[in-house]
Amino acid sequence: MLYVSTRGHPDRKHFCEILLEGLAPDGGLYLPEHYPQVDAATLDQWRGLPYHELAFEILSLYIDDIPAADLRAICAKTYTPEVFGTKAIVPLRKLEDGLYLQALSNGPTLAFKDMAMQLLGNLFEYELARRGEELNILGATSGDTGSAAEYAMRGKKGVRVFMTSPRGRMSPFQQAQMFSLQDANIHNLAIEGVFDDCQDIVKAVSNDLAFKRRYRIGTVNSINWARLMAQVVYYFAGYFQASAQKVDFAVPSGNFGNICAGHVARMMGLPIGRLVLATNENDVLDEFFRTGVYRVRSGADTHETSSPSMDISKASNFERFVFDLLGRDAARTRALFADELPRTGRFDLGRDPAFAQARERFGFVSGKSTHADRVATIRDTWERLHAMVDTHTADGLKVARQHLQPGVPMVVLETALPVKFAATIVEALGREPERPARFEGIESLPRRVTVLPADVARVQTYIAAQCG
C-alpha cells in the first residue's frame, strides 16, 4: 500500500515513511492510493474477534512495511483491558430503541483520542528503535488530543512532545491533565490565541522543510494518517456490536478527524447508512454540508463554548474528504486549499455536481447544538435514560435524534467522560460527575507550562533550544 498527497506531490510513500513525516512536502495530507475493500464474507470472519485482533486485520490492509508478527504484537500491546478498563475496549450501550452510545473514553485520559494515540505511541517507539532515530512531535490541541498524546508518549524512547494549546480555552480538568505532567520529554506551550492559531503554527512549522528535517519534526494531530487509520477500527467494532445490516453513526466533530475515519470505513465497504456530523456553535462544517460553502472564521469569531474541544473554525482533516469528493482531483484540491482558502477565507462547492451527489454517495448529514441544547440533553439523558454524558457527546446525541431512521440503529460516538467538563454537568444536574481515583486533586498539582505568543518563530526558537 502506497500513500499519496491530496495536493498531488509526485512521491508515493510507504506507511512508516508517512508515520514519521506528518504533512506531505507540498502541504497536503496523505491518503492511501485506494481504500481496501471489505466484502460480506470478510465481515463475517471478523465478527466476534477481540478488539486487538480486529485492529490487526484492518491495520494490516494499510501497512505493508511492518512484519505481520510485529504489527500483531503492537496491537496486542495497545488494546488491553488493563489500559482501557474493559475486555470489549469500546462497549456499546443501548440508550433506547434505535439509539446507542459507543464508549470510547475508557483509556488513560478519559477521551476517545486515547483509542488512536496509544497505538501511535507504540508505533513511533517501534519505528524509531528500528531506525535508531529520534523524533520531535509538534501538536496542537483544543483539549483532548494534547493529554492523550502526552500520556501515550511520556517516557517513550527517542520521542519529545511539544504540545500547543490555546491559553485559557480548555476546561480546568483538561489543563490540569496536561500541565501537571513533569516528564522531561513533555513540553506544554500555552499559545495566546485560539486553537486555530495553534493548528496554523503546527502546519507552518511542518511546511518549513529545512527546520522540519533539521529537528526531525513529526505530528500526532489527526493530520497524521496513522491517527485516522486507528480510528477506523472502532467503527467496525460498533457495527458488529449493533448486530444490524446497516448502522448510522453520529459523531461530534470540530476538526473532521473522527468522522473522517467513519468516511474511510464506509468507503472500505462497512455498511454505514449515514454519517451524522454534529457541531457546536462553531458550525463551519454544518454550514458546508447544508450549503456547500466552506467558510473559516477568524479567532475573534470563534465562539468559546461548553464543548471546547470543538471550538474550531479550520477543520484540518476536511481536505481529505474534499479530495475524495472531487474524485481525487489533486489539482482542484490544491487550488482550493493552497490558493483560494488562504486568499479569500472560503470556497463554494454548492453548485458543483459532485456536491449535489455527496449526500447519497458519501452519506453525510449534519446539524448543530447550542449550550442550552447541551444542558437539556445532559439532563434528559440522565433523568430518563440513567446515563451521564459529557458536553460533546451531548452535541452528538442532540443532532443524532434529528436524523433517526426507523429500523436503522444510530450509534453515537462518545467523546469523553463527563468529569472533564464538570462545570456544565453541575449546571445541568446539580451534582458533580464521578471522578476516577487516579485523578483526585489533579487541579492542585504543580504545573509545567510555557506561555508563548501565536508566533511561529517563537515556537521554533523554543523547540531548537530544547533540542540543544
Q: Are 90 and 234 in contact (CB under 8 A)?
A: yes
Which amino acid belongs to residue 7? R
- Cα(297)–Cα(38) distance, integer angstroms: 38
pLDDT at 357 over 90: no
pLDDT at 372 over 90: yes
pLDDT of residue 353: 87
**SS3 state at 45:** helix
pLDDT at 348 over 90: yes
Highest mean pLDDT among 28-42, 138-152, 192-206, 429-443: 28-42
Catalytic residue from among 113, 203, 212, 314: 113
Confidence class for position 321, pLDDT limits 50, 70, 90: very high
pLDDT of residue 207: 87
User: Environment class of residue 274 by beta-carbon count within 10 Å: exposed (0-12), middle (13-18) or buried (19+)?
Assistant: buried
pLDDT in tens, 180-215: 999 999 999 999 999 889 989 998 998 898 999 899
pLDDT of residue 436: 87
Q: For the whole model, what pTM was predicted?
A: 0.92
pLDDT of residue 358: 75
Q: Rounded to 5 degrees, what are φ and ψ at 169? A: -105, 0
Confidence class for position 80, pLDDT limits 50, 70, 90: very high
Confidence class for position 171, pLDDT limits 50, 70, 90: confident
Question: What's the whole-number average pLDDT of the chain?
Answer: 94
pLDDT of residue 438: 87
Residues whose CB falls within 8 Å of the CB of residue 223, separated by 6 or more in sequence, listed in order: 22, 23, 29, 202, 203, 206, 316, 317
Asked if 94 is an active-site residue, the reply is: no
- Cα(417)–Cα(461) distance, integer angstroms: 36
Confidence class for position 354, pLDDT limits 50, 70, 90: confident
CATH code that applies to domain 92-110+225-429: 3.40.50.1100
Residues whose CB falls within 8 Å of the CB of residue 326, separated by 6 or more in sequence, listed in order: 332, 333, 352, 354
pLDDT in tens, 267-286: 999 999 999 999 999 999 99
- Cα(207)–Cα(184) distance, integer angstroms: 27
pLDDT of residue 350: 93
pLDDT at 452 over 90: yes
End-to-end CA distance of the chain: 37
pLDDT in tens, 383-396: 999 999 999 999 99
